[in-house]
Amino acid sequence: MQEKTIEMLRAAEKLYCLGVALEAARQRLKKLVEAGVSYQSDQMAAALQSYQSMEAEWKQLEQQYLEKRGNP
């Protein structure tokens, strides 16, 4: 395989794995809300921070992927 193809596959793999983790983090937030956990609680703050961190990483990786692919 060409080097660019391998690089694109690796980037897509990272995006997929991070997407799975991001969805799990979103589900954790949803469960906390459904359980009535206070928005001001340490538990909710930690879950939200984790989600936001992963979301920011997702956006960065997605942008890098699109730039490598030639679609900025």
Q: What is the pTM of this model?
A: 0.82
- Residue linked to tokens 């490598």: 68
> Which residues, in sequence order, are CB contacts of 53 under 8 Å at separation 6+?
none
Per residue, what are the HEC states of 3-63? HHHHHHHHHHHHHHHHHHHHHHHHHHHHHHHHCCCCCCCHHHHHHHHHHHHHHHHHHHHHH
Per-residue pLDDT tens over the stretch 24-44: 999 999 999 999 999 999 999
Domain spans, the chain? 3-64
The pLDDT of residue 34: 97
